[in-house]
Structure 1
Amino acid sequence: MAASEQVEVELKFDVDAGHTAPDLRVLPGVVGADEPQTFGLDATYFDTENLDLAGNRITMRRRTGGKDAGWHLKRPTGTAGARRELRLGFDDAPDDGVVPTELITPVIALTRTRALIPVAAISTTRTVTTLLGTDGRPVAEFAEDLVTAQSMLPGGHFQEWAEWEFELIGTAAHPSLLKAADKLLRNSGGRAPSSASKLARAIGSTPTVVEPHLGKRPTALELVITDIAIHRNSLISYDPLVRIDAEDAVHQMRVACRRLRSLFSGFPRVLDAARVGHLSNELKLLARILGDARDSEVQLAIDEALLRSENASPDLIARLTEAESSVHDRAIRAAHVAMNSDRYFALLDAIDELIASPPPGPDADLDAGTAVDRAITKSRKSIRKSQDALASFAEGSPEWEEQLHTIRKKAKRLRYSTDAATPLGKKRYKKVARVAKNIQSALGDVNDTHINRARLAELVAGGTLSGPDMFVLGRIDARQEADGERALAAYRQAAKDL
């Protein structure tokens, strides 16, 4: 099935039925308009019984009539007045009333195992005027809608109203067109919409998801739960991007898992440890599954960067990149399987339940700033202890390399502990966060060069490469050795500031 997605930028207004619209040809960049066309649109909207989509300002519908009959999924973009609209025509999907997979996949992290059911039926008589720019191309559409809506929820009722919609088309619109249209339509009788969408007005109030924030004197429990909500939202937002293997999506979703786990380990007495231990283990497993795909992404990027300035043969390029590409494809498929499992959806449900009803631990009522200070102090002491142990191992030995890896993990935990204080708006944690990031980054580079040099050595040991390719590998290995030495020096410099 061929689905298409576009960004929709529009204005909406409530208006009295039959109210005459102004002449929109006075707007900047508009020189003409097509004859108005009237359509009859009939739409059925789908959501879960809990209204998981509507609560996240998402609409899913099946609509007949007009120029874009088919299935539509509209999601927020983060920009006021703009939404992403995914469209799937009836030519590309069975018209059997069952929601197509293409629309379910982008929101399955919200709907999970819950069934999608009809929640509203909305009929619209729409009169559309297309506005034309200086070159005759459409720049905007103005719609005058007469709407009848029936909520299909228990106790739902019937409504009628009128509204105006003004939507930009393409990229040829004058930069000030939207602002000018907003002013003109408001001055001509348009009022601020009483609801964000036709669906919201049809079904009434919904349990809208609110972005987490703190009060003036938060407790440790309030801070931890706020951070959990922030990282839960991040995990949910990257879920659909991982499903299409978008750039950096696996990395960001994995980071969200690790940040969630760090809240449990960094603030162990704020929540009831016995009741959140299972959550931490499940997040660890998910992060490991995502990690397989992320590691192959990193290795591919390193290989491509190393080969970019070398005269490598097709055979050498294939040996370095094709095998890793296959590893990445397998890892992504494994991640998708995990993300479609009941176990994954149960994890998301458990996180939501934790946010809604957190089990307090012994330090739940502690001042949030005090809790962060304690977590940072404990984490810094742990890193220093590991650094002291590092000095007892011979440089380059397996024990020394393992200890570097331990320090890196502890630096990451310190960084996440300082990041947990972000909602407090305090500046005093920034220096510690910067040092922790520098240590983590430098030791990450050390680890990457170590892994890559081991792979290069395996290729050389195979004894099947040509002389020129062996020479290229030698050059690459020398560059990796130098990169590793620079990264180790950067770590040692950063460690002085801890």
Structure 2
Amino acid sequence: MSVTTSTEVELKYAVPEGVPMPDLSGADRVVRVEAQPVAHLEAVYLDTDDRVLLRARIALRRRTGGHDAGWHVKLSAAAGRRELHAPIDAGDPDALPAPLERALRSRLRGRPVRPIARIATERRGAVVTTAAGGRVEVDDDLVRAEDVAAGTRRAWREWEAEQLDEDGGAALAVVDAALRAAGARPSASPAKLAQALGGALPPGSPAPRTIGERLSALVAPMAEDAHRGLTALVVDGDPDGSALPALERTLIRIRSLLAPRTVAGPAGEALSERLGVLAARLDEARDPADVAAVADRLLDDEALGTWALLDGFAPDGPAASDPA
């Protein structure tokens, strides 16, 4: 089973009651508007009991209906969101496809995922093309959602505008202006999942007060970089030879932060040693044929313990409890 990847660049809008979708054929520089069939989308969003994916701003869903039915993983990216897509196994529709499990393995580490939200969407859409050739899909969504844990149901209407190609940036700006002029406003919710959960995304960490907390705050974004680098390595390989060195540099930066033992303490020292083992495994790759094997070694049972330590790192050296 293969995984396809794409970059999602979209804008979401809150719509006042009774506001109709504007006729975009009259918008500046628009040359064609193609109405799409009404689609009924059913999505189940999944996560671990402790919301490890949600905390990392990763969405995992299984969706039926529409042109892109299947399993989706949405990841943060430099621009927009990176989406991984895999088909649903008709014989076992609840089974997370192996390539997606592998892409998320450093996060999940064998823990099961369960439904956290169910979202049904009635979508009326159109594809807008501008004179410059850029294309944007504009959708008018009626949404019904259930927060599984809380048993809470919510319903709302929203508009979406999604860039469909590399030339769609200017077209997206044209559509954005037309939708705002019609009364739409940028949505306060970053995604349907967040709105389904009542905005209940896991809280961020409190402001660091001790040296140890500051060190952990410095390590955390680098740990995210390491996870993203590993995911890219697993999904894409290393086609241009940049992924492995970038991941290795990230591990080196983390180890440099952990070098002062009086600050990082025994926990930091142990983590540094284990990261050194991962870095050595990266160094084993000497040609593109080695990449898959190196990625597998970074996801083996022993290595997963290192990823767990990295996520849960809490310095406990003598200086860690001192006021900063």
Q: C-alpha deviations, 1:275-308, integer Å up to 9, x for none?
A: 4332222122112111222xx2xxxxxxxxxxxx
Distance 1:221 1:68 in 2: 45
Q: C-alpha deviations, 1:131-179, integer Å up to 9, x for none?
A: 23448x77111111111011122x2311111000111222444x53322
Q: From 268, 273, 286, give the equivalent of 1:276.
A: 268
Which of the two has greater strand per residue?
A: 2
Does 2:99 match 1:96?
no
Deviation at 1:100, TM superposition (A): 0.7
Distance 1:83 1:162 in 2: 22
Deviation at 1:183, TM superposition (A): 2.9
Contact 2:52–2:107 under 8 Å retained in 1: yes
The gaps in structure 2 that reach 5 residues or longer are: none
Question: Which residue pairs with 2:315 in the alignment?
Answer: 358
Contact 2:55–2:202 under 8 Å retained in 1: yes
The aligned length equals: 320
Question: In the alignment, residue 359 of structure 1 is paired with which amino acid?
Answer: D
Question: In the alignment, residue 230 of structure 1 is paired with which amino acid?
Answer: P
Q: Where has structure 1 moved over 6 Å in runs of 4 or more? A: none
Question: Which residue pairs with 1:112 in the alignment?
Answer: 109
Does 2:285 match 1:290?
no
Look at both structures and tell me which one has the larger radius of gyration over its CA atoms.
1
Task: Trace 1:28-427 onto structure 2 (pairs within 5 A).
Answer: 28-79=28-79, 82-90=80-88, 96-134=93-131, 139-153=135-149, 155-173=150-168, 175-204=169-198, 205-207=200-202, 220-243=211-234, 244-246=236-238, 247-265=241-259, 267-273=260-266, 275-293=267-285, 296=286, 325=287, 329-330=289-290, 332-354=291-313, 357-362=314-319, 365=322
Which of the two has greater helix per residue?
A: 1
Q: C-alpha deviations, 1:75-125, integer Å up to 9, x for none?
A: 22122xx212222234x7755221112222222222222212111111111
Distance 1:359 1:70 in 2: 44
C-alpha distance 126-353 of structure 1, shift in aligned 2 (>3 A): same
Question: In the alignment, residue 269 of structure 1 is paired with which amino acid?
Answer: T
Deviation at 1:41, TM superposition (A): 1.0
Pick 1 or 2: higher relative contact order, CA cutoff 8 A, min separation 6. 2
Distance 2:26 2:170 in 1: 13
The DSSP-based 3-state class of the residue aligned with 1:37 is: coil
The DSSP-based 3-state class of the residue aligned with 2:9 is: strand
The gaps in structure 1 that reach 5 residues or longer are: 297-324, 368-498
Distance 1:363 1:202 in 2: 39
Question: Which residue pairs with 1:4 in the alignment?
Answer: 4
Distance 2:179 2:295 in 1: 47
Distance 1:206 1:31 in 2: 40
The DSSP-based 3-state class of the residue aligned with 2:96 is: coil
In the superposition, the TM-score normalised over structure 1's length comes to 0.58
Q: Percent identity?
A: 30
Distance 1:335 1:176 in 2: 41
Q: C-alpha deviations, 1:161-206, integer Å up to 9, x for none?
A: 1000111222444x53322322332232213313211111112312
What's the Cα RMSD here? 2.8
